[in-house]
Copies of this chain bind each other. A is one copy, B any other.
């Protein structure tokens, strides 16, 4: 089902206001979620609404929490998130990092006791939009099984980086696992076997059974997703595990927060994030540097293609193309997600017709997580 960006924006903002967030807070959360949909990363957009709602109901996410700076220097800060909404803690933190980069050249800000923050790339982009290099990392519920281990000990632990370039910025946002849990969920919903090289069963053997792997992750039985580089050192498993560690260090370790293997246990979330902003002008002429990067990116896009390949992408190009398409042609929302949106409206007392228009409700009722 297709909705315009404006429709979804109005709906999301009203939804978060109904959940108790202020107008500004609702706008901020909506902006993070919808950028994800506009960039074609549906797993982290609209479809998360029901999870956030449930997180609030369970007390994992505290609506009234405000981020608090507990340690600060001219180039750094640590923020206590007080179990608040991840997007609000993170926007606050990245704004602080940007402010520090504007005055000191660099700002690194870590957040502890937060919640799922959406796409890491949103915050890297905030810095990039301010003319800076931006980094964002987060830990999460443990899903990555370290090399030679059979228990998930690290999160999907994405690293995002963005930097100004023409005709569009360098924008890299990727989990340090081979794939994210969302990918496994899609295979599970479609009853398809997972590709080899993605997941491990509870004994640490390769598995293509999505349902079994997901069940084991939730029950903390063992098994999970492989680090980028797969299962074995021969294909670089220890490298993906190492990048996952960098995330953990810049989120939970430096903030004295909860490491991935201890988050989401006993009714406590505890997700930690890390943000950095760096002014390219601390290395010389920022415009010349931007041009230098732009030239290299163009060389990459124009390099000889592999036999049978259509196009060489630079990071961020797919997102820019998706954004342009969805702003023009609207955003396709999965019918199950629409069903959840309808149920949400009924639950909190928003008019479905006012916010989502006239819908084929029988279709939309099919598979809501509220049922």
Which of these, B159, B200, B249, B303, contacts A146 with CB under 8 Å? B303
Q: Check if A33 is an interface residue, CB within 8 A of chain B.
A: no
Q: CB-defined interface of A302-324 with B at 8 Å, one 1/0 digit per residue? A: 01111111111101000000000
Chain B residue with the shortest CB-CB distance to A306: B204
Given A229-B178, A236-B178, A243–B243 Cβ distance below 8 Å? yes
A residues sitting closer than 8 Å to B (CB atoms) are 70-71, 73-76, 78, 104-106, 108, 110, 133, 145-151, 153, 159, 161, 163, 170, 172, 174-176, 178-179, 195, 197, 200, 203-205, 222, 228-230, 234-236, 238-243, 245-246, 248-249, 252-256, 259, 261, 278, 280, 282-284, 288-289, 292-293, 296, 299-300, 303-313, 315
Which of these, B133, B241, B254, B311, contacts A148 with CB under 8 Å? B311
A174 CB, nearest partner CB in chain B, Å:
4
> A228 contacts B240, CB within 8 Å?
yes
> B149 contacts A304, CB within 8 Å?
yes
Residues of B within 8 A of A200 (CB): 306
Cα separation A234 to B74 with both chains bound (whole Å): 42
> A150 contacts B235, CB within 8 Å?
no
Cα separation A23 to B309 with both chains bound (whole Å): 53
Residues of B within 8 A of A309 (CB): 148-150, 204
> A253 contacts B296, CB within 8 Å?
yes
Residues of B within 8 A of A311 (CB): 148
A224 CB, nearest partner CB in chain B, Å:
11
> A256 contacts B284, CB within 8 Å?
yes
A-B contacts, 14 listed (Cβ < 8 Å): A74-B105, A75-B106, A108-B282, A148-B305, A148-B312, A153-B300, A170-B249, A174-B236, A174-B242, A178-B229, A204-B308, A245-B315, A253-B296, A256-B292
Cα separation A256 to B147 with both chains bound (whole Å): 37
Chain B residue with the shortest CB-CB distance to A101: B75
